Amino acid sequence: MSFDVVIPTIRRPSLGPLLARLVELGVPAERIRVVQDGGPQRGPAAARNRGWRASAADWVVFLDDDVLPEHDWLVQLEADLAAADDDVAGVQGRIRVPLAADRRPTDWERNVHGLETARWATADMAYRRTALARVGGFDERFARAFREDADLGLRLVNAGWRLVQGNRTVIHPVGPADRWESVRRERGNADDALMLAKHGRGWHKLAGARISRRWLHLGVTAAAVTALLAAALGRRRAALGLGAAWLAGTGELAGNRIAPGPRDRREVATVFATTVFIPPAASYHWLAGIVRARGLLRDSRPEAVLLDRDGTLLVDVPYNGDPTRVELVPGAREALARLRAAGIRTAVVSNQSGIGRGLVPPEAVAAVNRRAEELLGPAGPWLVCPHAPDEGCDCRKPLPGLVYRAAKMLGVPPERCALVGDVGADVEAAAAAGARGVLVPTAKTRPEEVAASPEVAPDLEAAIDLLIGVSR
């Protein structure tokens, strides 16, 4: 059982001690992949994707660049991976955040200490590489080190995998932070908005995630804004009432933040100063995140993906009516699983002129389709054009009839569909219906079809990457 260690980094000083510890523990240097978090593909999600896609190991162990593995970490890691059943996609390490023993923790220290109970935290998380490939890895629309791990975990669980707790441990020290870090931290509300858009209400309970006091923040911010507006309009009584509401809400938040802390002069001053700005910062990032999330999900991904059968999902056997000859194209089952995990509806659209030519009966084609779905998993409706080329139907690709029918059955506008196929007729049918077409060439695809296609992917996995917005 092989594994690689992937470490996204912004080159913090803690990276050196981490690398030295891994080598000291016996991790071969060639199994450690340090990936720069920067350039055109910014963010830890993009860095981790580059790391695991460059790996051929069975498991990929993600570490943050500011942790330090315990001295038995490698032994425990190997035991964790060996104990993982085949349906286990990930094994989480234990995180220990040391705190000062002679005083209460500050607001910032309590926040970092929360990593000890965080679910699926990639500070130390080992994932089976095949599971990552099946769901497409991390969603790079999470540009910060926040919620990208929860999103991946939910998608894996939704795809039928299990995530379990291991026994290895890393130390995660509390890093330095200035007094305004708590305000900057409110940017995570935008990522919560994206999680809501992707996974629906209750996502935080499924992911074991803590969410901020969002409605209170919105209420306190609304009170402040309307108090200022009332004052500007000369409505003194309303302004005083709303101002009192703002002051009460702000004071309650400050009290909750001060109570568990050390209560020294610097900490109390920091909490009071930042509490004034936390509600408006949280409200702004939440509302802006909702707008951004809707735009991202609307613009970047189709609502449904239609797939050609022969040459795209199945190895092409001309006029096949024998279920025993059904063979999946490599990666086809994983591609459909990834689409399901992403919440994208699917259907199969296929020209079967062998029926119209009298070469294969309709019931034999249906039997082949049933066998294919047994191997692929749920694929949505199977739509077939049974006509010979000279019958003048409107459903034989490159005409758009099958696309229109599939879109109607799935309840999706044709322009929000994509069609993946291996010949020019597939791409032309998509274009005729106003859908997006992606060509995955095979040996029978003509060079002129490749040249004429607006989007071409080398294989089915790459086509799904292209459609769901994952960068290789």
Give every strand in the sheet of 382-385, ordered side by side.
382-385, 345-351, 304-307, 417-421, 436-439
* Active-site annotation holder among 308, 422, 426, 465: 308
Longest dimension (CA), the chain: 89
Active site residue 85: no
**CA–CA gap between residue 196 and residue 342 (Å, rounded):** 14
Active site residue 65: no
**CA–CA gap between residue 400 and residue 177 (Å, rounded):** 58
Beta pairing partners, 62: 6, 125
**CA–CA gap between residue 457 and residue 93 (Å, rounded):** 36
Burial class (CB in 10 A: 0-12, 13-18, 19+), 214: middle
Task: Transcribe 38-78 into DSSP letters.
Answer: -TTS-SHHHHHHHHHHT--SSEEEEE-TT-EE-TTHHHHHH
**CA–CA gap between residue 212 and residue 183 (Å, rounded):** 12
* Active-site annotation holder among 124, 192, 310, 426: 310
456 neighbors 439 (Cβ within 8 angstroms) = yes
- The SS3 call for residue 194 is helix
Tell me 104's DSSP state.
P
**CA–CA gap between residue 345 and residue 328 (Å, rounded):** 20
Q: What is the pairing mode between strands 59-63 and 124-128?
A: antiparallel
Give the contacts of 201 (CB within 8 A, at least 6 positions apart).
Answer: none
Kindly list the catalytic residues. 308, 310
